[in-house]
Amino acid sequence: MRLPNGDLSTCHPLNNSVTGSASSSSEDDGGSLEETYSPVTLVDNEGLLVPPLNFAMVDYGVFRSGFPDTANFAFLQTLGLRSIIYLCPEAYPEANVEFLNANGIRLFQFAIEGSKEPPMVNIPEETIREALKAVLDEKNHPLLIHCKRGKHRTGSLVGCLRKLQKWCLTSIFDEYQRYAAEKARVSDLRFMELFDISGFKQPPASCSHSKN
């Protein structure tokens, strides 16, 4: 994983994201959509490739999004995924499991409860630590991190990764805000600020997109 140079006081521009789509929600990760923006679509010889909600590249071999559905499967195949990091407690849908099996993709599930009441949200630190270990393991790359909307749970995990990459808090919070928008949670920001990275090894300088 490529690391920006500098220490915790260094801010990094958020210019490496390839955003597929964005939305604002009337509730949290599980809420109904107030406003939906047309997703960016790519065209191949067979038709349109539609990325999942809030899709973006986090780093080389690491992507993030909301929950993929069947319309997104063709797009996901272009990423050559080895793994999916799933951050919700609900069982994975049968259609998605069949897609993973057909494409040799391993599922890592880390059950983090969603909540419509931000003051009541308690992010399980040990669960985030285990998920981060899976993200850092190059054997799992390329991988996709997702929850339901790709906002709070995914944003918190990515924020902890950024802290390990020595991003300053301003840049970490700005990236989180881009996806959470007006539904940003102070509890998430506080969790990322206090997250202890001392037990983690520094990520490798780069990682591959390919399964080969």
Q: Which two tokens stand for residue 120?
A: 């009541």
Segment (H or E) for 143 = strand 143-146
How many angstroms separate the CA atoms of 64 and 175, rounded?
12
Structure tokens at 134: 């899976």
The catalytic site residues sit at 147
Q: CB of 181 within 8 A of CB of 146? A: no
Neighbour-count burial of 60, counting CB atoms closer than 10 A to its CB (0-12 exposed, 13-18 middle, 19+ buried): middle
Q: Which residues pair with 48 in a beta bridge?
A: 43
The DSSP output letter for 191 is: H
Query: Pairing state of beta strands 33-36 and 23-25?
Result: antiparallel
Q: Which of 80, 77, 81, 74 is nearest to 106 (CA)?
A: 81
Q: Please name which of 149, 146, 176 lies closest in space to residue 160, comparing C-alpha atoms.
A: 176
